[in-house]
Amino acid sequence: MKEKHEKVNIGNLSNQDLLYVTGSIRPQDEIKKNDACFRAGFLGSKIQVQPYSQQEMQLLEAGLFKKLPVYDRVLNRKSKHVTEVEIATEHFEKLNRPPEHVREAAARIAEDYRLVNGRKSPTQKMDSRKWDIRSTLRVIGRGTPYPIELASTESHFSQDVLYSSTSQSTAAILHEKGKRNDDEPKLAPVSFQVQHREWSGQYRGQVVTQTPVSNAPDANAGERFSEKLTSRSVSKIFESAAYTSTCHGGFTTFLTLTFNKEQRLRIFGGLADPSDVNSIGAHHPVRFRRNMVTYKSSEFVKRTESPVCNIGGAYTSIAIDGQIPKLMNASGDIAGDYCLLSQKPKAEFTIDKTLETTVGKEVSRLLDGLKKMYQRGWLADHTVQTDKHSHAKYSDLTHEQVPPHFKSIPTEFGPSFMKDDFHYIWVAECPANEDGEPNPHVHVLLRWTVEAHLFSAWAKRFEKIWGHGFAKLERIREPKAAGSYIIKAVGYAAKGDNAEQGLIRGNRYNIAKCSRAPAWECIASFEADNITAIIKELGYRLERWKKPLERTLNRLSYQKSQTIKAKATAIKKGEPEDKLKKMQSRIIRLEKQAFNVKKEMKSRQVHVSTANNFSISFDGKEAKDKLDDFLMWAAGARGWGMDCRDMDLSELKNEADGFYHDRFIQFKDKQAYWQAVLNDPTPIETHDENELSYWKSFTADYLEGRLTPLLR
């Protein structure tokens, strides 16, 4: 049965012609479903002027009229959709136009341009604040005709929501199919741990979630690729630099390593330069390796697997215990061993790129050589000396032996000497250069310095061990701030997550074992209860206190940047030296002011943020006392349970409840008040009789023509 399509003309194109034209691109059912029409701009412009309406086009196609007169056509006719949108927009603007301007203009005209100046209304001027409140209530009562996209999620995850949610629910593990493991602990999966770091004297409260065994993350497999440093990596680098600075004196040398063309080709896929292929000799860049099958030797042998050298035998899906038989062919020759089908390799051969390497391998090779040089000593082939008479520097070719580095360790027999620790941190990046090519290089922090006359030979030895390009050595002026050197070098601190650090295979950074900051030590564990809401509230308070200081810091930063630009412009124009010195002194003064503001922001020695409501830390000498005060305040003034898993703290809980009883009652009253305000119905708008009489008299005077403006 054939379907009858109603003949609907779209512009000058019929429905059948439209299906015929678009049938080569899309199916007909999809075209009918989407209703791709002429007015929607599918085959023409959306703003194309249609000289005839749809009814007029039907009359013309029917043949009743050859053409319509010009005066019967309505040119520039707007579509129904556009007309409805314009009418709705105009109506919406009228409804949402603030009435304050109309009232103020009418009151000003009635006051200044009335015919009888002595005629006054008994009604006093209405308070502007009263008008603002009434207009706001009108807007709230009307509501919004369109959905609102919230700029922040704090309205759903604020401290009040967290307080109410924790009081209504309890943390628990969601089991599959309602089954519970007998060996699983019956404690809540979320706990609040009090942690301490001895080397820095810091105390921290951390919310920890215990991951069930069934939800363990998948193990990492395959090659590792990374495009940037993660926030966790940056925090580890900062902590290690701070630990080295506090306990070992800090890093003193900044090293930058570059790669030559040959080494870059090896990093990017084990390639070789075409000009070097002919002279490569027996060391070919590609090697083929046969994949061998392995089988169990014996249940009494510790070595569980050994390769099957003769793989000419057949494969079997049945495991063979005991001695493995040999497969014989028709002539009686041994064809090979039986091999399990599950152990059959996917590919017979594996292609190994002998020239392929990674940034991490090359840096590890360099650091191994530098560590031996640091702990064993080295021989300088020349030194830089200064002439006593001319004070000119010259190179002395006399060799000088540099002693190794040792550290003393107290023992029961007296001090003992052993090799000193070799501290380092390295970070690699691979941004694009000016030509768009990847430019891999490595930034290294070292805790190693030499005397000035040995620096040239020291740097020469570094480049010789590296052997892949340049090795630039710089002295760090502030060893305590060495962590910021390497973070700024890779551009993370300046650009954040948008830094183009490039794609790198393998390790992107590494820290020496002796330079890694010790982990936090848990000294007590509590039930979490409503601690996340308490941390959120403290984050709001601290950010509110820091806000004026942040505005001051932004203003100083802007003034400094403008002064730097003005100085650069003055240098180009050739301004006098006095003016440049004044600008430089202003830059230094702004830097000192910014330093003082940052110091004031850190003066409270409390670190908490609304972005992370799972952690709060305390620094300084009074960190322990501040932590105790926080726990007591949270238990007494905010109703935290203080249910410790390690010991009984019921006495401290009772003491905190008694000490902060008034504050807790005040906190509960405030919560109840705002909840009542939230649940109150919309207030009914009432009008004052004096106000109504005033406006009615004003309207009557205007209608009767007694109010005429004085300005012509």
pLDDT digits (tens, 9 = 90+) for 317-372: 666 555 555 555 555 555 555 566 666 677 777 777 777 888 999 999 999 999 99
pLDDT for residue 117: 43
What's the confidence (pLDDT) of residue 75?
46
The rounded distance, in Å, linking the Cα atoms of 471 and 459 is 8
pLDDT category, 548, cuts 50, 70, 90?
A: very high
Determine the pLDDT at residue 585.
Answer: 94
Give the pLDDT of residue 115.
Answer: 44
Give the residues across from 286 on adjacent strands.
353
- The answer to whether the beta carbons of residues 160 and 178 sit under 8 Å apart is no
Rounded Cα distance, 558 and 556, in Å: 5
pLDDT range class, residue 615, cuts 50, 70, 90: very high
Q: Would the pLDDT of 626 be above 90? A: yes
pLDDT at site 127: 59
Please give the C-alpha separations between residue 134 and each of 96, 131, 440, in angstroms, as whole numbers. 14, 5, 64
What is 461-474 written as a DSSP string? HHHHHH-SS-EEEE
Give which of 55, 87, 48 is closest to 73, Cα–Cα.
Answer: 55
Whether the CB-CB separation of 507 and 585 falls below 8 Å is answered with no
Instruction: For residue 673, give the amino acid letter.
Output: Y
Determine the Cα–Cα distance for residues 293 and 706; give it in Å rounded to an integer.
110
- Rounded Cα distance between 390 and 124, Å, is 94
SS3 for 408? strand
Contact 586, 563 (CB under 8 A): yes
Please check the confidence at residue 489 and state whether its pLDDT lies above 80: no
**Does residue 701 have a pLDDT over 50?**
yes
pLDDT band, very low/low/confident/very high, at 637 (cuts 50, 70, 90):
very high
Q: So what's the pLDDT on residue 155? A: 66
Examine the pLDDT at 304 and tell me if it is beyond 80.
Answer: no
Q: What is the pLDDT of residue 24?
A: 63
* Residues whose CB is less than 8 angstroms from the CB of residue 351 and which lie 6 or more positions away in sequence, other chains included: 286, 287, 288, 289
The lowest-confidence range among 339-353, 641-655, 663-677 is 339-353
Residues 6+ positions from 580 with CB-CB distance below 8 Å: 567, 570, 571
Judged against a pLDDT cut of 60, whether residue 306 lies above it is answered with no
What pLDDT does 111 receive? 52
Q: Roughly how many angstroms between the first and final C-alpha of the chain, as a whole number?
A: 79
Residue pair 56/23 in contact (Cβ under 8 Å)? The answer is no
Q: How sure is the predictor about 551, in pLDDT bands with cuts at 50, 70 and 90?
A: very high
Residue 262 has pLDDT above 60, yes or no: yes
**Can you tell me the distance from the alpha carbon of 372 to that of 259, in angstroms, rounded to the nearest whole number?**
23
Q: What angle do CA 349, 351, 352 make, to 5 degrees?
A: 130
Q: Is the pLDDT of residue 545 over 90?
A: yes
Q: Model confidence at 51, in pLDDT bands (50, 70, 90)?
A: low
Q: Give pLDDT, residue 309.
A: 56
149/347: higher pLDDT? 347
Q: Tokens standing for 585?
A: 């002194």
Whole-number pLDDT of residue 705: 73
Tokens of 443: 């930034």
The CB density around residue 465, as the number of other CB atoms within 10 Å, is 16
107 confidence band (pLDDT: 50, 70, 90): low
- Residue 544 tokens read as 């509110």
Matching residue, tokens 């009489």: 693
- Identify the three-state secondary structure at position 298: coil
Average pLDDT over residues 489-510: 70
pLDDT of residue 170: 65
Stretch 466-471: mean pLDDT: 86
Question: Residue 452: is its pLDDT beyond 80?
Answer: yes
- Residue 549 sits at φ, ψ, to 5 deg, of -70, -35
User: Which is more confident, 98 or 689?
Assistant: 689
Distance of CA 607 to the CA centre of its chain: 19
* Cα 158 to the center of its chain, rounded Å: 21
For residues 26 and 39, what is the distance between their CA atoms, to the nearest angstrom? 19
Q: Is 146 exposed, middle or buried, given 0-12, 13-18 or 19+ CB atoms closer than 10 A?
A: exposed
Interatomic CA distance for residues 504 and 357, integer angstroms: 12
Task: Report helix, strand or coil for 40.
Answer: coil
Burial class (CB in 10 A: 0-12, 13-18, 19+), 533: buried
Max avg pLDDT among 332-346, 424-438, 595-609, 684-698: 595-609
Do the strands 383-386 and 339-340 form a parallel or antiparallel pair, or are they unpaired? unpaired
pLDDT at 97: 58
Q: Domain residue spans in the chain? A: 15-77, 85-146+688-703, 161-174+185-204+523-678, 228-271+356-519, 287-352
Label residue 216 left, alpha or beta by phi (over 0 means left) and psi (-120 to 50 means alpha).
beta
For residues 555-575, average pLDDT: 92
| pLDDT score, position 113 | 45
Is pLDDT at 698 greater than 60 in this prediction?
yes
Position 316 confidence tier, pLDDT thresholds 50, 70, 90: low
When mean pLDDT is compared over 72-81, 226-235, 582-591, the highest value belongs to 582-591
Residue 241, pLDDT above cutoff 50: yes
**Which band of pLDDT confidence, cut at 50, 70 and 90, is reported for residue 168?**
low
Q: Which residue has the higher pLDDT, 156 or 565?
A: 565
Please list the alpha-helical segments (H only) found in 23-64: 28-34, 54-62
Question: Which amino acid, residue 274?
Answer: P
CA atoms within 13 Å, Cβ hemisphere of 198: 4
Alpha carbon distance 196, 575 (integer Å): 57
Q: What is the average pLDDT score of the chain? A: 76
Out of 356-365, 485-494, 661-670, pick the least confident: 485-494
Average pLDDT, integer, range 2-25: 58
Q: Say what the pLDDT of residue 697 is.
A: 82
**Lowest pLDDT segment from 133-137, 557-561, 608-612:** 133-137
- What DSSP state is assigned to residue 227? S
pTM, full prediction: 0.65
Task: Report the range of poorest mean pLDDT among 91-105, 131-145, 197-211, 505-519.
Answer: 91-105
Distances (CA, A) of 144 to 22, 93, 211: 42, 13, 43
Mean pLDDT of all residues in 605-625: 90
Mean pLDDT across the stretch 519-540? 91
Structure tokens at 140: 């709230």
Tell the residue number behind the tokens 């380092």, with chain if given.
424
In the numeric block, the tokens 């005040």 are attached to 666
Q: pLDDT band at residue 166, thresholds of 50, 70 and 90? A: confident
Helices and strands in the chain, H and E counts: 20, 26
pLDDT of residue 601: 92
Query: What pLDDT, on a 0 to 100 scale, did the predictor assign at position 689?
Result: 78
Q: From CA 258, how far away is CA 69, in angstroms rounded?
A: 81
Judge whether residue 3 has pLDDT over 50: no
The Cα–Cα gap between 39 and 46 comes to 6
Give the pLDDT score at 204.
Answer: 94
Residue 636: pLDDT above 80? yes
Q: Cα–Cα–Cα angle for 572, 573, 577, nearest 5°?
A: 90
Rounded to whole angstroms, the Cα distance separating 152 from 547 reads 18
Q: Which residues pair with 475 in a beta bridge?
A: 253
- Which letter, b or e, does each residue of 607-618 get, where b requires 16 or more Cβ atoms within 10 Å of its Cβ? bbebeebbebbb
Percent of the chain exceeding pLDDT 90 equals: 28
Question: Using 50, 70 and 90 to split pLDDT, how confident is the model at 26?
Answer: low
The answer to whether residue 72 scores a pLDDT higher than 50 is no
pLDDT digits (tens, 9 = 90+) for 274-302: 666 666 665 566 777 777 666 554 555 55
Q: What is the mean pLDDT of residues 520-535?
A: 91
